[in-house]
Structure 1
Amino acid sequence: METSQFVVDVLDDGGLEPQGRGLRSAQKIRLLHATMRYHVGRQDDWNRAWGLPVNQEDLAGTLMSFSVVIPRGLGRLGVDLPTEDRDAFFHVWRVVGHVLGVDDQLNPPSFDDGAELFDAVLRRQQKSSDAGIALTKAVLDFIREVLPGLRRNRAHPDPAPDRRPGRRPRQGPTGRLHQDGAPGRVRAELRLREDRRYNAPCGEGCE
């Protein structure tokens, strides 16, 4: 939920202006990263061979998961995103990366360079793990629970499916086919919370 609110703040009109909520959210996240880096790196179970927690490679890979993965995902869904819009979206996240303290060498100026960097980080870091499997399942369960189009409105269940021979599935109001032959009645239950955590801003000199 905090990440969702962060994205809303950043992409809001004026979100990255001097008094913008997106700028303040990014500053708070930078402070959170510094706190995690300090404390996690000092825990007894942290293997120093892993390097610094929340390091520059981690930050760059995560940043590209917004600026690169989202446009790529839209393309796979059949959304024809104009190059100008894609590049503008990428630039927004490049600014966010600057606020978060991502090194300029790992904060590329173009989408193509960002995609190449993301793929390189993925090849180096991506592998299966029990923690990754558990985290992915939790995310998918969350999506199925709250996002529109993936859960029926329990207060207004769809009528029983029409099983008569020759009946074709009908399209619901979103244009997706529902195999039970009834329009999908769904509702969005994602409510972005207005509470703000980590209220101390992070200014110049944060690590």
Structure 2
Amino acid sequence: MTENFHCREINRKCTEFSAEKFVDVLLTEGEKATCDETSESFNEHCVIPTFYDEILCKKGQNCFHQNRFSFCLTSLLGLTALGTRPALKILILTKQQCTPIKAYRRYLATILYMLELYEYEFKPGSKSWSSLEKVRKMHNFASNLGHRKLDYRINQLEMALTQFGFIGFALVRGRFIGIHEVSEEELKGFIHLWRAVGYVLGIEDRFNICRESVKETKEICEELMRRVFIPGLQQPGDDFYNVAKVVVEGFRGMIPGLHLDNMLHYTHMIMESNEDVANCAKDHLSPLDTIEQLKLKILVNVMWAMQYRIFRFIMNNFLLLIIWLWINFPIVAYWKFGITHHSHVRI
């Protein structure tokens, strides 16, 4: 009996999940494994994954609809944090964000592709599946170009970190993003959707940060913040600020008033669970002027107000109006880039 107990205990410890070990493998082996046409997972994963659960996926889509504004903010801040990663040089090479208008078109298209994942059935032939196929082609093209020019391919690590960019802050800093009253089952559905998305985009199961367990996924996100994103924002590469400024200028074609330093300060505040604007200064960040501090205080207070359902309802529906304008009458882009066909983005 004692021997059997010890055997069971050893087996339990061997199978016990460790976010630290998961991230160890991701950072060491994920960087060596490609995620393009040279990858077995990329070529074989263009089908519905065997683990896919339609009911759970719909719960995840509904979770997004109930918190549309907050999840879009998550993506905006996540894309900012991703700007510190080495894959940035591929975007520079492909000239997809070397000017504000190109950055605007690229990121608006990214947002529209993302929104289709939440609106339509996740199956071959649907609009969401068509969006994923287009994203796969774009990633593969960029990876091949990067290989020819820089001897660098998009890898599993960068794809996994991109998953974090779209979901990470919402999962582990939900209160700071305005996410409230979300059940464990809804979060599980949201994670399940992104697990399936990652699979179809070619992420190997061992590198997919979206796990079956909400707890494990959150632990991975916390570990990635600590070991990747916080150090990356504290010591960004030489290209980061130049490219990030262009990216923000592109976003200003959608959201007027955005400011790079403001976004970086708020991203730091989220990662450090700090709600005090007065104590958000960082040695490596430019100090905020009075106007930008005021904007940051307004954002913090908006996130505080999101705890109330009526305010979430207002902000979610306000975003629907904004999205409609982005697609049909991009008035901000007209003002910034001129009334041309470049201001209109179709996917």
**Bin for the TM-score computed over the shorter chain:** 0.5 to 0.7
Please say if residues 327 and 346 of structure 2, whose CA atoms lie closer than 8 Å, have aligned partners that are also in contact.
no
**RMSD value, Cα:** 3.2
- Alpha carbons of structure 1 residues 194 and 140: separation in structure 2 relative to 1, 3 Å: closer
- 2:128 is aligned with what amino acid? G
SS in 1 for 2:217: helix
Which residue pairs with 1:33 in the alignment?
139
The TM-score with structure 1 as length reference comes to: 0.62
1:64 alignment partner, one of 158, 164, 176: 164
Paired residues, number:
157
The TM-score with structure 2 as length reference comes to: 0.39
1:9 alignment partner, one of 95, 116, 119: 116
CA distance in 2, matches of 1:33, 1:78: 31
- Per-residue CA deviation, residues 50-82 of structure 1 (Å, 9 max, x unaligned), is xx4210000111012213233445421342132
List gaps (5 residues or longer) in structure 2. Answer: 1-107, 259-300, 303-320, 329-343
- Per-residue CA deviation, residues 102-139 of structure 1 (Å, 9 max, x unaligned), is 00011142333333434444524724123222343344
- Alpha carbons of structure 1 residues 141 and 85: separation in structure 2 relative to 1, 3 Å: farther
SS in 2 for 1:94: helix
Provide the identity percentage: 21
Please say if residues 109 and 345 of structure 2, whose CA atoms lie closer than 8 Å, have aligned partners that are also in contact.
no
List gaps (5 residues or longer) in structure 1. Answer: 152-174, 177-186, 197-207
- Per-residue CA deviation, residues 23-74 of structure 1 (Å, 9 max, x unaligned), is 111122112222222221121xx2x5xxx42100001110122132334454
Higher helix share: 2
Please say if residues 60 and 102 of structure 1, whose CA atoms lie closer than 8 Å, have aligned partners that are also in contact.
yes
Please say if residues 191 and 214 of structure 2, whose CA atoms lie closer than 8 Å, have aligned partners that are also in contact.
yes
Please say if residues 146 and 153 of structure 2, whose CA atoms lie closer than 8 Å, have aligned partners that are also in contact.
yes
CA distance in 2, matches of 1:74, 1:121: 16
Which residue pairs with 1:195 in the alignment?
346
- Alpha carbons of structure 1 residues 36 and 89: separation in structure 2 relative to 1, 3 Å: same
Shift of 1:13: 3.2
- Alpha carbons of structure 1 residues 147 and 86: separation in structure 2 relative to 1, 3 Å: farther
Please say if residues 63 and 97 of structure 1, whose CA atoms lie closer than 8 Å, have aligned partners that are also in contact.
yes
CA distance in 2, matches of 1:73, 1:144: 25
- Alpha carbons of structure 1 residues 120 and 74: separation in structure 2 relative to 1, 3 Å: closer
